[in-house]
Amino acid sequence: MLERYYVLPKTRQRIRGCWLGSQIERYVERLANARYSPFVVHVRVPLLLGFAQFSRKHGASKFDQLPRFVEPYVCFRARNRDRSRGAQPRREYMWDIRQPIQQMLQWELPGYDGMRRRPERRYPFPREAPAFMEYLRSERGVRPATEINYLRHLTCLADFLRRRSASLKKLSPRLVSDFVIEMSRRYCPNAMGVVAASLRVFLRYLARERILRVDLSDTVEPPVDYRYRTLPRSISPLQLKAVLATVDRASAMGKRDYAMLLLFATYGLRSREVAALALEDIDWRMSRIRVPARKAGHSSAYPLSADVGDSLVDYLKYGRPPSRDRPLFLRTNAPPRAIDSPGIARRVQIYLKAAGVKVYRGGSHTLRHTCVQGLVDANFSLKAIGDYVGHGAPESTQIYAKLDVEALRCVALGDGEEIL
Protein backbone atom coordinates (compact mmCIF):
# COMPACT_ATOMS: atom_id res chain seq x y z
CA MET A 1 0.00 0.00 0.00
CA LEU A 2 2.92 2.37 0.60
CA GLU A 3 3.81 2.15 -3.11
CA ARG A 4 0.58 3.98 -3.83
CA TYR A 5 1.75 7.09 -1.98
CA TYR A 6 5.57 7.00 -1.98
CA VAL A 7 7.59 6.64 -5.18
CA LEU A 8 11.11 6.55 -3.74
CA PRO A 9 12.14 3.09 -2.45
CA LYS A 10 14.25 4.62 0.33
CA THR A 11 11.16 6.38 1.73
CA ARG A 12 9.23 3.12 1.87
CA GLN A 13 12.24 1.37 3.42
CA ARG A 14 12.52 4.05 6.09
CA ILE A 15 8.85 3.62 7.02
CA ARG A 16 9.01 -0.17 7.07
CA GLY A 17 12.32 -0.12 8.93
CA CYS A 18 10.75 1.80 11.81
CA TRP A 19 9.89 -0.31 14.87
CA LEU A 20 6.23 0.63 14.26
CA GLY A 21 6.52 0.11 10.51
CA SER A 22 3.96 -2.69 10.21
CA GLN A 23 1.39 -0.76 12.26
CA ILE A 24 1.96 2.42 10.23
CA GLU A 25 1.58 0.50 6.96
CA ARG A 26 -1.70 -1.05 8.15
CA TYR A 27 -2.83 2.43 9.23
CA VAL A 28 -2.13 3.77 5.72
CA GLU A 29 -4.10 0.89 4.25
CA ARG A 30 -7.08 1.71 6.43
CA LEU A 31 -6.90 5.36 5.43
CA ALA A 32 -6.93 4.31 1.78
CA ASN A 33 -9.92 2.01 2.32
CA ALA A 34 -11.75 4.88 4.04
CA ARG A 35 -10.99 7.08 0.99
CA TYR A 36 -8.80 9.61 2.77
CA SER A 37 -6.94 11.85 0.34
CA PRO A 38 -3.20 11.36 -0.38
CA PHE A 39 -2.59 14.72 1.25
CA VAL A 40 -3.86 13.35 4.59
CA VAL A 41 -1.56 10.32 4.29
CA HIS A 42 1.46 12.50 3.53
CA VAL A 43 0.72 14.69 6.54
CA ARG A 44 0.04 11.91 9.05
CA VAL A 45 2.79 9.40 8.25
CA PRO A 46 5.64 11.80 9.25
CA LEU A 47 3.80 12.46 12.53
CA LEU A 48 3.62 8.74 13.24
CA LEU A 49 7.29 8.27 12.37
CA GLY A 50 8.19 11.07 14.75
CA PHE A 51 6.04 9.51 17.46
CA ALA A 52 7.73 6.13 16.93
CA GLN A 53 11.17 7.71 17.25
CA PHE A 54 10.15 9.72 20.33
CA SER A 55 8.57 6.77 22.14
CA ARG A 56 11.57 4.48 21.41
CA LYS A 57 13.97 7.14 22.65
CA HIS A 58 12.05 7.45 25.92
CA GLY A 59 11.93 3.74 26.69
CA ALA A 60 9.01 2.20 24.77
CA SER A 61 9.62 -1.39 23.73
CA LYS A 62 6.10 -2.80 23.30
CA PHE A 63 3.11 -1.51 21.40
CA ASP A 64 0.80 -1.56 24.43
CA GLN A 65 3.14 0.91 26.17
CA LEU A 66 2.50 3.63 23.62
CA PRO A 67 -0.60 5.32 25.15
CA ARG A 68 1.47 6.86 27.96
CA PHE A 69 3.78 8.53 25.42
CA VAL A 70 1.02 10.27 23.43
CA GLU A 71 0.65 13.41 25.54
CA PRO A 72 4.43 13.86 26.13
CA TYR A 73 4.98 13.69 22.37
CA VAL A 74 2.16 16.14 21.67
CA CYS A 75 3.57 18.60 24.21
CA PHE A 76 7.07 18.13 22.74
CA ARG A 77 5.80 18.97 19.25
CA ALA A 78 3.79 21.92 20.57
CA ARG A 79 6.88 23.41 22.24
CA ASN A 80 8.96 23.06 19.09
CA ARG A 81 6.41 23.89 16.43
CA ASP A 82 7.35 26.06 13.49
CA ARG A 83 5.39 29.28 13.95
CA SER A 84 6.38 30.52 10.50
CA ARG A 85 3.74 28.23 8.99
CA GLY A 86 0.90 30.19 10.51
CA ALA A 87 -0.61 31.31 13.77
CA GLN A 88 -2.71 28.19 14.40
CA PRO A 89 -4.03 28.15 17.98
CA ARG A 90 -2.04 25.90 20.29
CA ARG A 91 -5.03 23.73 21.21
CA GLU A 92 -5.93 23.09 17.56
CA TYR A 93 -2.31 22.37 16.71
CA MET A 94 -2.05 19.86 19.54
CA TRP A 95 -5.25 18.15 18.40
CA ASP A 96 -3.90 17.85 14.85
CA ILE A 97 -0.86 16.03 16.27
CA ARG A 98 -2.79 13.87 18.72
CA GLN A 99 -5.65 12.76 16.47
CA PRO A 100 -3.77 10.53 13.96
CA ILE A 101 -1.76 8.87 16.75
CA GLN A 102 -4.90 8.12 18.73
CA GLN A 103 -6.63 6.86 15.61
CA MET A 104 -3.83 4.38 14.91
CA LEU A 105 -3.81 3.20 18.52
CA GLN A 106 -7.60 2.76 18.52
CA TRP A 107 -7.36 0.60 15.40
CA GLU A 108 -4.41 -1.45 16.66
CA LEU A 109 -4.89 -1.58 20.43
CA PRO A 110 -8.16 -3.15 21.72
CA GLY A 111 -9.77 -1.16 24.52
CA TYR A 112 -7.91 2.08 23.84
CA ASP A 113 -10.30 5.02 23.76
CA GLY A 114 -7.97 8.00 23.68
CA MET A 115 -8.64 11.60 24.51
CA ARG A 116 -11.70 13.33 23.09
CA ARG A 117 -11.62 16.79 21.55
CA ARG A 118 -14.21 17.77 24.16
CA PRO A 119 -14.08 15.76 27.37
CA GLU A 120 -17.25 13.81 28.01
CA ARG A 121 -19.37 15.40 30.73
CA ARG A 122 -19.97 13.26 33.76
CA TYR A 123 -22.91 13.40 36.12
CA PRO A 124 -21.68 15.42 39.15
CA PHE A 125 -23.90 13.84 41.85
CA PRO A 126 -23.38 10.05 41.52
CA ARG A 127 -23.59 9.49 45.30
CA GLU A 128 -26.20 12.00 46.42
CA ALA A 129 -28.75 11.40 43.61
CA PRO A 130 -27.49 8.43 41.57
CA ALA A 131 -30.68 7.66 39.62
CA PHE A 132 -31.48 11.15 38.29
CA MET A 133 -30.18 10.61 34.75
CA GLU A 134 -32.10 7.36 34.48
CA TYR A 135 -35.19 9.24 35.69
CA LEU A 136 -34.72 11.74 32.85
CA ARG A 137 -34.45 8.98 30.26
CA SER A 138 -37.15 6.59 31.44
CA GLU A 139 -39.78 8.88 32.97
CA ARG A 140 -39.32 12.20 31.20
CA GLY A 141 -38.07 10.77 27.90
CA VAL A 142 -35.48 13.48 27.27
CA ARG A 143 -33.21 13.31 24.26
CA PRO A 144 -29.40 12.95 24.46
CA ALA A 145 -28.96 16.63 23.53
CA THR A 146 -31.22 17.61 26.44
CA GLU A 147 -29.22 15.34 28.76
CA ILE A 148 -26.11 17.33 27.86
CA ASN A 149 -27.87 20.54 28.93
CA TYR A 150 -28.79 18.97 32.26
CA LEU A 151 -25.21 17.79 32.78
CA ARG A 152 -23.85 21.24 31.96
CA HIS A 153 -26.17 23.02 34.39
CA LEU A 154 -25.75 20.46 37.18
CA THR A 155 -21.96 20.67 36.81
CA CYS A 156 -22.24 24.40 37.39
CA LEU A 157 -24.37 23.70 40.47
CA ALA A 158 -21.80 21.21 41.80
CA ASP A 159 -19.00 23.76 41.30
CA PHE A 160 -21.07 26.41 43.06
CA LEU A 161 -21.72 24.15 46.07
CA ARG A 162 -18.04 23.20 46.22
CA ARG A 163 -17.05 26.86 46.41
CA ARG A 164 -19.61 27.44 49.16
CA SER A 165 -18.43 24.31 51.05
CA ALA A 166 -21.99 22.97 50.93
CA SER A 167 -23.48 19.63 49.99
CA LEU A 168 -26.57 18.78 48.00
CA LYS A 169 -28.50 17.85 51.15
CA LYS A 170 -27.81 21.31 52.61
CA LEU A 171 -29.43 23.19 49.76
CA SER A 172 -31.50 26.13 50.98
CA PRO A 173 -33.60 28.83 49.28
CA ARG A 174 -30.73 31.26 49.82
CA LEU A 175 -28.19 28.99 48.12
CA VAL A 176 -30.56 28.31 45.22
CA SER A 177 -31.19 32.04 44.80
CA ASP A 178 -27.46 32.84 44.86
CA PHE A 179 -26.82 30.14 42.26
CA VAL A 180 -29.50 31.52 39.93
CA ILE A 181 -28.10 35.05 40.31
CA GLU A 182 -24.61 33.79 39.50
CA MET A 183 -25.81 31.95 36.41
CA SER A 184 -27.77 34.99 35.23
CA ARG A 185 -24.47 36.86 34.88
CA ARG A 186 -23.28 34.25 32.39
CA TYR A 187 -26.42 33.54 30.33
CA CYS A 188 -28.92 35.61 28.38
CA PRO A 189 -32.61 35.58 29.43
CA ASN A 190 -33.55 32.88 26.93
CA ALA A 191 -30.74 30.60 28.11
CA MET A 192 -31.63 31.33 31.74
CA GLY A 193 -35.10 29.97 31.03
CA VAL A 194 -33.49 26.63 30.13
CA VAL A 195 -31.27 26.76 33.24
CA ALA A 196 -34.27 27.48 35.47
CA ALA A 197 -36.28 24.63 33.91
CA SER A 198 -33.44 22.15 34.45
CA LEU A 199 -32.96 23.28 38.03
CA ARG A 200 -36.68 22.99 38.85
CA VAL A 201 -36.84 19.44 37.50
CA PHE A 202 -33.79 18.48 39.55
CA LEU A 203 -35.14 20.04 42.75
CA ARG A 204 -38.52 18.34 42.36
CA TYR A 205 -36.73 15.02 41.89
CA LEU A 206 -34.67 15.59 45.07
CA ALA A 207 -37.84 16.26 47.05
CA ARG A 208 -39.60 13.22 45.60
CA GLU A 209 -36.71 10.94 46.55
CA ARG A 210 -36.52 12.44 50.07
CA ILE A 211 -33.01 13.72 49.42
CA LEU A 212 -34.31 17.16 50.37
CA ARG A 213 -36.96 17.62 53.04
CA VAL A 214 -38.61 20.50 51.22
CA ASP A 215 -39.38 21.02 47.56
CA LEU A 216 -37.32 24.08 46.58
CA SER A 217 -38.44 24.18 42.94
CA ASP A 218 -40.88 27.03 43.67
CA THR A 219 -37.96 29.25 44.68
CA VAL A 220 -36.62 29.17 41.09
CA GLU A 221 -38.43 31.74 38.97
CA PRO A 222 -37.77 31.84 35.23
CA PRO A 223 -36.80 35.20 33.74
CA VAL A 224 -39.54 37.35 32.27
CA ASP A 225 -39.54 36.77 28.53
CA TYR A 226 -42.19 38.36 26.33
CA ARG A 227 -43.26 35.75 23.82
CA TYR A 228 -43.59 37.99 20.79
CA ARG A 229 -40.91 40.59 21.51
CA THR A 230 -38.63 39.62 18.60
CA LEU A 231 -39.21 39.50 14.87
CA PRO A 232 -39.31 36.13 13.09
CA ARG A 233 -36.14 34.99 11.32
CA SER A 234 -37.73 34.31 7.94
CA ILE A 235 -36.38 35.64 4.65
CA SER A 236 -38.25 36.66 1.52
CA PRO A 237 -38.79 34.37 -1.49
CA LEU A 238 -36.29 36.44 -3.48
CA GLN A 239 -33.68 36.02 -0.76
CA LEU A 240 -34.37 32.28 -0.63
CA LYS A 241 -33.87 32.11 -4.38
CA ALA A 242 -30.56 33.95 -4.00
CA VAL A 243 -29.43 31.51 -1.30
CA LEU A 244 -30.23 28.51 -3.51
CA ALA A 245 -28.41 30.15 -6.43
CA THR A 246 -25.14 30.31 -4.45
CA VAL A 247 -24.91 26.50 -4.25
CA ASP A 248 -22.40 24.93 -6.64
CA ARG A 249 -24.58 22.07 -7.86
CA ALA A 250 -21.77 20.67 -10.03
CA SER A 251 -19.84 19.42 -6.99
CA ALA A 252 -20.75 16.50 -4.73
CA MET A 253 -20.99 18.80 -1.71
CA GLY A 254 -23.20 21.21 -3.63
CA LYS A 255 -25.59 18.44 -4.69
CA ARG A 256 -25.92 17.37 -1.06
CA ASP A 257 -26.34 20.89 0.30
CA TYR A 258 -28.90 21.85 -2.36
CA ALA A 259 -31.06 18.86 -1.44
CA MET A 260 -30.84 19.76 2.27
CA LEU A 261 -31.74 23.40 1.63
CA LEU A 262 -34.81 22.35 -0.35
CA LEU A 263 -35.90 20.04 2.48
CA PHE A 264 -35.71 22.94 4.94
CA ALA A 265 -37.52 25.40 2.68
CA THR A 266 -40.20 22.96 1.44
CA TYR A 267 -41.12 21.05 4.60
CA GLY A 268 -39.84 23.33 7.37
CA LEU A 269 -37.74 20.57 8.90
CA ARG A 270 -35.31 20.95 11.78
CA SER A 271 -31.61 20.27 11.30
CA ARG A 272 -31.67 17.14 13.47
CA GLU A 273 -34.64 15.83 11.47
CA VAL A 274 -32.69 16.20 8.23
CA ALA A 275 -29.63 14.59 9.85
CA ALA A 276 -31.75 11.59 10.93
CA LEU A 277 -33.13 10.86 7.45
CA ALA A 278 -32.14 7.44 6.10
CA LEU A 279 -32.28 5.89 2.64
CA GLU A 280 -35.33 3.83 3.56
CA ASP A 281 -37.25 7.00 4.50
CA ILE A 282 -37.66 7.84 0.81
CA ASP A 283 -40.54 5.89 -0.72
CA TRP A 284 -39.94 6.35 -4.44
CA ARG A 285 -42.91 4.25 -5.55
CA MET A 286 -45.44 6.21 -3.50
CA SER A 287 -43.55 9.52 -3.89
CA ARG A 288 -43.37 10.04 -0.15
CA ILE A 289 -40.75 11.08 2.34
CA ARG A 290 -40.91 9.99 5.97
CA VAL A 291 -39.45 12.15 8.75
CA PRO A 292 -38.78 9.83 11.71
CA ALA A 293 -37.08 12.04 14.29
CA ARG A 294 -39.77 14.58 15.17
CA LYS A 295 -40.15 15.97 18.65
CA ALA A 296 -41.83 13.67 21.22
CA GLY A 297 -40.66 10.67 19.21
CA HIS A 298 -43.36 10.66 16.52
CA SER A 299 -42.88 10.68 12.76
CA SER A 300 -44.48 12.42 9.78
CA ALA A 301 -44.92 11.60 6.11
CA TYR A 302 -45.02 14.15 3.27
CA PRO A 303 -45.65 13.94 -0.46
CA LEU A 304 -42.31 14.08 -2.21
CA SER A 305 -42.27 17.27 -4.26
CA ALA A 306 -40.81 17.20 -7.75
CA ASP A 307 -37.97 19.65 -6.93
CA VAL A 308 -36.96 17.81 -3.77
CA GLY A 309 -37.17 14.45 -5.52
CA ASP A 310 -35.00 15.63 -8.43
CA SER A 311 -32.38 17.05 -6.07
CA LEU A 312 -32.27 13.82 -4.05
CA VAL A 313 -31.89 11.73 -7.21
CA ASP A 314 -29.07 13.97 -8.40
CA TYR A 315 -27.32 13.66 -5.04
CA LEU A 316 -27.78 9.90 -4.70
CA LYS A 317 -26.58 9.18 -8.23
CA TYR A 318 -23.71 11.64 -8.55
CA GLY A 319 -22.89 13.13 -5.14
CA ARG A 320 -23.28 10.62 -2.30
CA PRO A 321 -20.03 8.78 -1.45
CA PRO A 322 -20.16 4.99 -1.81
CA SER A 323 -21.00 3.67 1.63
CA ARG A 324 -22.90 0.86 3.34
CA ASP A 325 -24.21 3.29 5.95
CA ARG A 326 -27.93 4.01 5.78
CA PRO A 327 -28.06 7.76 6.64
CA LEU A 328 -29.18 9.77 3.65
CA PHE A 329 -26.69 12.65 3.92
CA LEU A 330 -23.01 11.84 4.40
CA ARG A 331 -19.93 13.95 4.85
CA THR A 332 -17.92 14.51 1.69
CA ASN A 333 -14.61 14.29 3.56
CA ALA A 334 -13.22 10.92 4.62
CA PRO A 335 -14.39 8.91 6.37
CA PRO A 336 -17.86 9.18 4.74
CA ARG A 337 -20.07 9.06 7.82
CA ALA A 338 -23.37 10.78 8.55
CA ILE A 339 -23.28 14.55 8.80
CA ASP A 340 -24.63 15.74 12.15
CA SER A 341 -27.15 18.50 12.84
CA PRO A 342 -24.56 21.17 13.86
CA GLY A 343 -22.71 20.49 10.61
CA ILE A 344 -25.93 20.91 8.62
CA ALA A 345 -26.71 24.19 10.40
CA ARG A 346 -23.21 25.47 9.56
CA ARG A 347 -23.74 24.67 5.89
CA VAL A 348 -26.90 26.80 5.86
CA GLN A 349 -25.05 29.66 7.57
CA ILE A 350 -22.38 29.53 4.87
CA TYR A 351 -24.92 29.92 2.06
CA LEU A 352 -26.81 32.69 3.84
CA LYS A 353 -23.56 34.60 4.18
CA ALA A 354 -22.55 33.88 0.57
CA ALA A 355 -25.89 35.27 -0.65
CA GLY A 356 -25.49 38.42 1.44
CA VAL A 357 -28.60 37.67 3.48
CA LYS A 358 -28.30 39.23 6.92
CA VAL A 359 -30.64 37.73 9.49
CA TYR A 360 -30.52 37.39 13.26
CA ARG A 361 -29.06 34.01 14.26
CA GLY A 362 -29.05 32.75 10.70
CA GLY A 363 -29.09 29.00 10.26
CA SER A 364 -31.33 26.08 9.39
CA HIS A 365 -34.16 27.53 11.49
CA THR A 366 -34.14 30.57 9.20
CA LEU A 367 -35.43 28.39 6.36
CA ARG A 368 -37.93 26.76 8.74
CA HIS A 369 -39.27 30.22 9.60
CA THR A 370 -39.40 31.00 5.88
CA CYS A 371 -41.49 27.90 5.20
CA VAL A 372 -43.95 28.81 7.96
CA GLN A 373 -44.14 32.44 6.81
CA GLY A 374 -44.98 31.25 3.30
CA LEU A 375 -47.84 29.14 4.65
CA VAL A 376 -49.12 32.08 6.69
CA ASP A 377 -49.06 34.31 3.60
CA ALA A 378 -51.06 31.61 1.79
CA ASN A 379 -53.78 31.94 4.47
CA PHE A 380 -53.42 28.46 5.97
CA SER A 381 -54.72 28.09 9.52
CA LEU A 382 -52.28 27.90 12.41
CA LYS A 383 -53.52 24.39 13.18
CA ALA A 384 -52.75 23.21 9.65
CA ILE A 385 -49.35 24.92 9.70
CA GLY A 386 -48.52 23.43 13.09
CA ASP A 387 -49.40 19.95 11.90
CA TYR A 388 -47.31 20.44 8.77
CA VAL A 389 -44.11 21.51 10.56
CA GLY A 390 -44.56 19.22 13.58
CA HIS A 391 -45.77 21.53 16.35
CA GLY A 392 -47.63 20.09 19.31
CA ALA A 393 -49.51 23.28 20.22
CA PRO A 394 -50.76 26.32 18.25
CA GLU A 395 -48.75 28.59 20.57
CA SER A 396 -45.57 27.16 19.09
CA THR A 397 -46.70 28.08 15.59
CA GLN A 398 -47.57 31.63 16.65
CA ILE A 399 -43.92 32.25 17.53
CA TYR A 400 -42.96 31.62 13.91
CA ALA A 401 -45.95 33.31 12.33
CA LYS A 402 -46.41 36.44 14.43
CA LEU A 403 -45.78 38.87 11.60
CA ASP A 404 -48.39 39.44 8.88
CA VAL A 405 -46.26 41.14 6.22
CA GLU A 406 -49.08 41.94 3.78
CA ALA A 407 -51.28 43.52 6.45
CA LEU A 408 -48.41 45.71 7.63
CA ARG A 409 -47.68 46.71 4.05
CA CYS A 410 -51.30 47.82 3.61
CA VAL A 411 -51.11 49.85 6.80
CA ALA A 412 -47.90 51.51 5.69
CA LEU A 413 -49.15 52.35 2.19
CA GLY A 414 -52.73 53.29 3.03
CA ASP A 415 -54.54 55.39 5.58
CA GLY A 416 -55.34 52.41 7.83
CA GLU A 417 -59.10 52.68 7.35
CA GLU A 418 -59.48 49.03 6.27
CA ILE A 419 -58.23 47.66 9.61
CA LEU A 420 -60.55 49.76 11.76
Any idea which residues carry the catalytic annotation? 270, 295, 365, 368, 391, 400
Q: 244 vs 83, 240, 342, 367, 385, CA distance in Å?
A: 40, 6, 20, 11, 24
Alpha-carbon distance 38 to 7, whole Å? 13
Residue 245 makes CB contacts below 8 A (sequence gap 6+) with 355
With 0-12 / 13-18 / 19 or more C-beta atoms within 10 angstroms meaning exposed / middle / buried, residue 227 is exposed
Give Cα 264 to chain centroid, integer Å: 17
Alpha-carbon distance 176 to 116, whole Å? 33
Report the alpha-carbon angle 204-205-210, nearest 5.
100
Alpha-carbon distance 20 to 332, whole Å? 31
Alpha-carbon distance 42 to 339, whole Å? 25
Residues constituting the chain: 420
